Chain A
Amino acid sequence: MDNHFDVIGSVLPKKDGIAKVTGKEIYASDVELPDMMHAVVLRSTVAHAEIKSIDTSEAEAMGAICLVPDDVPQVYYNERIVSIPEKTYRDRLVLPRKVRHYGEAIAAVAAETEEEAFAAMQKIKVEYKELPFYTDPLEANKPGAAPIYESVFLGENKFDVVNNVACERNITVGIFNCCPTCGTRFDYSCRLDEYHCGCGIVYTPAEDDGKAFDNAEVILEKEYDLSRVYHAQMETKSAVCRPEPEGGFTLWTTTQSIHNVRILLGEIFSIPLNKINVKRVALGGGFGSSIQMNSITPICTALALKARRPVKLVSSREEDMYDHHKYPAKFKFKIGATKDGKIVAGHLTVIVGIGGHNVQAYPLLGCMAGWYASLYKFPNLKFEGTAVYTNQAPCCAMQGYGNPQVNFAVESTIDMLAEELGMDPIELRLKNYVGLGDEFWGQGPTVKSTIKSCGVEEMLERGSKMIDWYERPQPGSGDGNVLRGVGLARGFHTSGTGGPKPGEVIDYSSASVKINEDGSVDIMTPIMDHGGGTWDAAVKIVSELLKVPYEMVSLSPTDTRTTGYDVNTHATRGVYCGCGAAYHVALKVKQELLTVAGQFLEEHPHDLDLIMDKESGQGVIVTKGLDCKRMTVGEVAAKARVLSMGTIAATGSYRQKNCPPCFVTNFVEVEVDKRTGQIRVVKSVTLGDCGTTINPDMLEGQLVGGLNRGIGYSTLEEASYDPKTGKLNCEGFYDSYKMTTAVEMPPLNKIETGFASTYEPTGPFGAKGLGEAAVNSIASAIANAVYNATGVRFTKLPITPAEVVAALKAKDEGRI
């Protein structure tokens, strides 16, 4: 372990900091091109309907270019191509023939100005044949409900959709998948109503847990309900597309993966990839909402190709709110344990209303199973997940990808179990957590690895001191009108989707690194930075490795033409996987550098070392042991040029063979105003285990940001629908979609963060991820704290003041 880092772990100015704070940074919506048209999208005003006709004649008479379903390639695609094709569900076209949710894009218009486009759009006449619609997955799932789809594709196979079920996933471990009588194993990957065992018994796996809970002395069964929320990333989805004279096009767009956008557009528009160039521009946050190609991106492309002119399309906030949400979830969770606190079995059932398109429900269900299986050791484990289409905005990953949802169900129940057992919640967690040497499901049941670094114990211990855990009140013991409580929850996320075996998820990244003729360094990476400092991490890692000072290392502007593939900045993989590739490529450059320097210094490369000379601002090659010969990196590169020896550079792709968990531990203190039901988080202790801290300030920002979103998720945010109209109840931020601002946060001196002292042996300089983990257990900790304060358990998110007042009243009146 090398703790003598020159730049890793230092707080340094962000490479894009000045551009961002001075407003000079270029996001997709800032791109201006000569002869560019402006586009707007016509969105559905009904929730579920056949489109009978679209009349664009008046709009076209105004000089606008219109795009209707007949104009787009009839290619069914899935906007997210992170999973392998066989596990990818395809249900959508660039513009649909049938409306599946209010606000869905059904046509688009380009004109000389946005105003003209808007005016033309208003002249388009759409005739709908309206159909019954569903804003509740339980309703949509009922036999006889109007089908949102007749059929969709899984891989190349078309299949019929039954009861609006988009997909299911059933996973068992231990004796759940065994005959309760004779113990024979059976395959439970598809849901069986009845299982006829060879021994003669007929068994109903969906209802019967067999012998799995037989050894449990305490069994709890609880239900949880988590709302839909909106990503609320700062940048609304935007695209600018320029058709190129020689065919193909160039695209600037909001995305977390330039390469996946290119591949998809190549498939949809049947254009070879060498004729499509997707530029890497700054990303104004994503929270997962741009893992998939955004719905407006192919629309903008199709319009530009039709108009044969550059077209810009920028979503308004109100439109963006109809484009993507976080997956809501309804859970049933049964857990069994022995009296001394050993978990015996768990059975988690979830139903998810995924909205009008299946973006990634299948991997989501797998991941939910994985988050559940990796939180505590369940010798016997069963997971049943059902994803149901609804007539709502399509759901997609949002910070945690099912993890905050599962965490809420499990961590609330674990708290209840501890109480039931009369055991301290920390003790119960320590008895059962998945840690060092255990198996971790980083991305569902097919992407697993062994845990090699773990700060769980350290964080529980440190955090409990920082919050005075053992001094917390007895649940509901407070009097007066302001009740105080302390709660705890722990969680984790994966760092990327790598693993010893590729499984169902694609994961690798690429990078190029070259040493310039003065000893400075350029990095070419396809990875995107959500704003959390992934790019700075890449710079720091290369700088550290080549010992070239941070100021002398830069990121080149890149695009899909100049970089190798990267799957996505998702799954908390930016640093561990994306920068992992940069690390491995820089290793090759280091080797090459030492070889060339060896020739000049007449030394074997093995006998040379690199040091950072901050005074000269150069990396320096020195002889090992005794610093008797030296040459700066600049001198080596310059000499190599004069001698026509070539550029010291390398390019490569790299796949991480692990998916290490980044753990978090959250302690919060809340105050509940009994009379108004308001919950205030007055103190937070958030500890993260991300291995080596590459960008400590950014990491702290991630933890605090996660706290902020977690407070919103647990007490405030809800993208609820009006079941009568199929419209969102909120109309943009203005009206009622409220998020936590700075003033709802605990005071600055009561927001404490810290990092476990761990080192991930497989990560670049010992680093793993953190981003998504930052939010995963906040809501659980808050709910546990609210219980501690009030003695009332809330199992539905958000916990609204109205519900708190009603529940506390019921408690006082002895009704609960």
Chain B
Amino acid sequence: MNSFRLINPGSIDELYNQLSERGSAGRIVAGGTDLLPAFKKEKTAVPEFVINLKSISELADINEEETKINVGALATHAEIVESFLIQGKAFVLAEACDKIASWQIRNLATVGGNIANASPAADSVPALLVLDAHLHLGSKNGHRDIKLEKYFTGPGQTVLADGELIEKVSFSALAKDEGAAFVKLGKRKAVTLSIVSAAAYVKLSPDHLVIEDVRLAMGSVAPTPLRIKSAEALLKGSKANQFDRQKLHETVRKDIKPIKDVRSTAEYRLEVSAVLIERAVKLAVERARTAGKGGHQ
């Protein structure tokens, strides 16, 4: 492994200065759980400077502004899993982060890194997609907000500009009659990347019989994590406990473009995707029904 210089900026301003000054010679590190293995395996060129975010503690905040929840890019998966706020009002994110890697890695790895790394298998992303999350990006030149859905352009590729970073991710807290869930299928149950992952958000009619609104997202079935929009259209307005499985199957298949990789085959992914969507929707519906009654939402 080639050596690099580690820069520990003392403030957010210094961070932005460093980022703009180092340009392409610099690279952000947060938990390092994606970056360092990529260096070691020579999948990523080792830059001259590695700029450490971990000293900027304000980027790790998890807070609530009215009905909006902000999760700082540096929040670790462990912090998200343990946050009462997330558990209570956006359980699906805690659920997804809890399924990432192992305790040791969740203690280090950040949600910002998970998003920025732009792996199709990033587990927090389908959860955030169904929460309709926005990213708050910052750079020396200012800030901009962008829908998470618009952030990814390909595997490992994003719209992030040079000198820019993710400061936080925001979304609305779930309300009455709303529920969401994340499910994943890996080679085994723990410390495993997703072969396929799926998240669902539903809003039920007040009598809980009809799906009034729905968002679906998947990981590991296309070059980026993505929303499954035609399946959303299919489910919207349908009965909450009775939807056409066969049709869902066909529809989901059309929205995804899985490939064969070390973890599984394209055909398998095509077969199980709708199963996962179905399971996520069922769980989400259940949660929407018990919302506010002590259950997870």
Contact = CB atoms under 8 A, between A and B. Distances in A.
Nearest to B272: A676
B260 to A, nearest CB: 10
Contacts of A739: 188
A806 B1 CA distance: 42
Nearest to A730: B262
A741 B190 CA distance: 8
B22 to A, nearest CB: 24
A322 to B, nearest CB: 14
Contact of B275 (A118, A676, A735, A740): A676
Given A731-B41, A735-B262, A809 B187 contact: no
A46 B187 CA distance: 29
Nearest to B191: A741
B190 A801 contact: no
A743 B190 contact: yes
A685 B31 CA distance: 43
B244 interface: no
Contact of A805 (B192, B193, B272): B272
B88 to A, nearest CB: 26
B33 to A, nearest CB: 10
A739 B193 CA distance: 13
A743 B1 CA distance: 34
B173 to A, nearest CB: 31
B188 A716 contact: yes
A738 interface: yes
Contacts of B185: 676, 678, 801
A809 B41 CA distance: 38
A806 B267 contact: yes
A741 B101 CA distance: 13
A741 B189 contact: yes
Interface in A44-99: none
Given A801-B264, A801-B268, A802-B265, A675 B189 contact: no
Given A675-B275, A729-B262, A740 B188 contact: yes
A743 B189 CA distance: 7
Interface string A721-764: 00000000111001110111101100000000000000000000
A765 to B, nearest CB: 40
Nearest to B261: A736
A730 B41 CA distance: 12
Greatest chain B CB density within 10 A among A716, A730, A731 is at A731
A805 B189 contact: no
A744 B189 contact: yes
Interface in B241-278: 262-265, 267-268, 271-272, 275-276
Contacts of B195: 801
B37 interface: yes
Contact of A802 (B190, B267, B276): B267
B272 A738 contact: no
Contacts of A809: 271
Contacts of A676: 185, 272, 275-276
A768 B263 CA distance: 41
Given A675-B275, A735-B262, A736-B262, A741 B188 contact: yes
Interface residues on B, range: 20 to 34
Contacts of B189: 741, 743-744
A229 to B, nearest CB: 14
A743 B193 CA distance: 16
Contacts of A740: 188
Contacts of B268: 677, 801-802, 805-806
Interface string B186-220: 01111111010000000000000000000000000
Given A675-B272, A676-B275, A805-B272, A738 B267 contact: no
Given A729-B262, A801-B264, A802-B265, A738 B271 contact: no
Interface string A787-816: 000000000000011100110010000000
Contacts of B271: 805-806, 809
Contacts of B192: 738
Greatest chain A CB density within 10 A among B190, B262, B264, B275 is at B262
Given A676-B272, A676-B275, A805-B272, A738 B265 contact: no
Interface in B95-148: none
Nearest to A735: B262
A734 B190 CA distance: 12
Interface in B31-50: 37, 41
A99 to B, nearest CB: 20
B265 to A, nearest CB: 5
Contacts of A806: 267-268, 271
Contacts of A800: 264
A803 to B, nearest CB: 9
A735 B41 CA distance: 11
B191 A802 contact: no
Nearest to B33: A734
A729 B262 CA distance: 7
A208 B189 CA distance: 48
Given A805-B268, A805-B271, A806-B267, A738 B262 contact: no
Contacts of A744: 188-189
A736 B263 contact: yes
A483 B197 CA distance: 23
Contacts of B187: 716, 736, 738
Contacts of A736: 187, 193, 262-263
Contact of B37 (A730, A734, A801): A734
Nearest to A809: B271
A529 B290 CA distance: 55
A741 B102 CA distance: 12
Nearest to A720: B262
A134 to B, nearest CB: 21
B121 to A, nearest CB: 11
B41 A738 contact: no
B275 A738 contact: no
B213 to A, nearest CB: 26
Contacts of B188: 716, 738-741, 743-744
Nearest to A742: B190
Nearest to B268: A802
Interface in A686-729: 716, 729
A375 to B, nearest CB: 31
A741 B195 CA distance: 18
B159 to A, nearest CB: 27
Contacts of A802: 264-265, 267-268
A741 B103 CA distance: 14
Contacts of A734: 37
A731 B193 CA distance: 14
Interface string B153-189: 0000000000000000000000000000000010111
Contacts of A805: 268, 271-272
Contacts of A730: 262
Nearest to B41: A731
B101 to A, nearest CB: 10
A741 B264 CA distance: 19
Nearest to B274: A675
Given A735-B262, A738-B192, A743-B190, 18 more contacts: A118-B1, A675-B275, A676-B276, A677-B272, A730-B262, A734-B37, A736-B262, A736-B263, A738-B187, A743-B188, A800-B264, A801-B195, A801-B264, A805-B271, A805-B272, A806-B267, A806-B268, A806-B271
Interface of B: 1, 37, 41, 185, 187-193, 195, 262-265, 267-268, 271-272, 275-276
26 contacts: A118-B1, A676-B185, A677-B268, A716-B187, A716-B188, A729-B262, A730-B262, A731-B41, A734-B37, A735-B262, A736-B187, A738-B187, A738-B188, A738-B191, A738-B192, A739-B188, A741-B189, A743-B189, A801-B195, A801-B268, A801-B272, A802-B264, A805-B271, A805-B272, A806-B267, A806-B268
Interface of A: 118, 675-678, 716, 729-731, 734-736, 738-741, 743-744, 800-802, 805-806, 809
What 7 pairs between A and B have smallest CB-CB spacing? A802-B268, A736-B262, A738-B187, A675-B275, A743-B189, A802-B265, A805-B271
